[in-house]
Structure 1
Amino acid sequence: MIIRAVKIEDAKAINQLNTYPLNHEYPLEDAKRQLIYLVSSPTNQLFVSVIDEKVVGYIQLSEYVCTYGPKLMNIMALVVNEDIHGQGIGKSLLNHAELWAKENNAEGIRLNSGVERTKAHKFYEHQGYKRVKNQVNFRKLFD
């Protein structure tokens, strides 16, 4: 397994991981446009895990800066192909992201995880993450 920075050519594999197991269906062409933007952004980073030249997982980080706390990196997504859970891929991606965050002067990492993702919560807690609070997530899309 290798972990490397994302490439635009990874868009299809990432889109498939977003669809299953994350259940975030999004048109591939739109996802590719988003990926192009993210790759060019200095405040975002994506890493993929590759086995036998196939993307099997990824992690996405975004800078989280506010007036009421230190600079953190926000994990926007962490997903590994469910067929290979338990092999240390998620942990490796998380460790790689933490190292990148430190190198980019972040004081820590934050993340949100859906209330139904209880296995993911146990994973994060096992990696040293502390549950801080429960939230309700709101969204408004513009026409």
Structure 2
Amino acid sequence: MRVHIQPEQPDSAVARALIAELDAVLNPHYPPESRHGYSVEKLIQQGVAFFVVYLDKQPVGCGGVQIFGNEYAELKRMFVRPGFRGRGVGKQLLAHLEAYAAERGIRVLRLETGVAQTEAIGLYEGFGFRRIPPFGPYFEDPLSICMEKKLS
């Protein structure tokens, strides 16, 4: 099993397919006002650094990092296809995204996720993220969780 993570334009066919799968997984659980994921167009417009993770040359996940000045970076559109979870792919992707932010001098990494994403929440907590009040564009929402981690 060989994992390879590479930068990818969010509007590439591979990235679009992964983002569409992510939306298909999330949409049944959340009403429109509780969906905060960026569209492909907004990922590009906001300058999100986007990556695709390959397992033996097959695209199995994606994720991005948006940097907000020197204040913090935020994880965006992190996803691993359900059939490939439990193999450490998400951990490797998260470590890659953390390293990307840290290499740019960012000391705080934040994210927003939905309460139904229990596997993701477990992954983030295992990486040292802790729950925080809503930040930036987010608001109190019983279906939403905001988290952050201090980077060394």
TM-score (norm 1): 0.72
Give the Å deviation of 1:123.
1.6
Match of 1:4 in 2: 6
Match of 1:79 in 2: 79
Determine if the alignment matches structure 1 residue 132 to structure 2 residue 136: no
Match of 2:48 in 1: 44
- Code of the aligned partner of 1:123: L
- Code of the aligned partner of 1:44: V
- Say which SS state the counterpart of residue 93 (structure 2) adopts: helix
Match of 2:62 in 1: 58
Tell me how far apart the structure 2 counterparts of residues 50 and 20 of structure 1 sit (CA, whole Å).
20
Asked if structure 2 preserves the Cα contact closer than 8 Å seen for 1:45 and 1:62, the reply is yes
Give the Å deviation of 1:61.
1.3
Match of 1:109 in 2: 109
TM-score (norm 2): 0.68
Give the Å deviation of 1:77.
1.7
Q: In the comparison of the two structures, how many residue pairs are matched? A: 123
Structure with the larger strand share: 2
Tell me how far apart the structure 1 counterparts of residues 54 and 102 of structure 2 sit (CA, whole Å).
23
- Say which SS state the counterpart of residue 136 (structure 1) adopts: coil
Asked if structure 1 preserves the Cα contact closer than 8 Å seen for 2:15 and 2:62, the reply is no
Aligned partner (choices 6, 13, 19) of residue 15 of structure 1: 19
**Cα shift readout 1:58-79 (whole Å, capped 9, x = no counterpart):** 01111234xxxx5211012211
- Say which SS state the counterpart of residue 112 (structure 1) adopts: strand
Match of 1:122 in 2: 122
Select the structure of larger CA radius of gyration: 1
Asked if structure 2 preserves the Cα contact closer than 8 Å seen for 1:21 and 1:82, the reply is no
- Code of the aligned partner of 1:90: G
Asked if structure 2 preserves the Cα contact closer than 8 Å seen for 1:13 and 1:55, the reply is no
Tell me how far apart the structure 1 counterparts of residues 100 and 50 of structure 2 sit (CA, whole Å).
10
**Cα shift readout 1:80-133 (whole Å, capped 9, x = no counterpart):** 000111111111111001111011121120001112223322221111111123
Structure 1: gaps spanning 5 or more residues: 25-30, 138-143
- Say which SS state the counterpart of residue 75 (structure 2) adopts: strand
Tell me how far apart the structure 1 counterparts of residues 5 and 76 of structure 2 sit (CA, whole Å).
17
Give me the identity figure in percent: 25
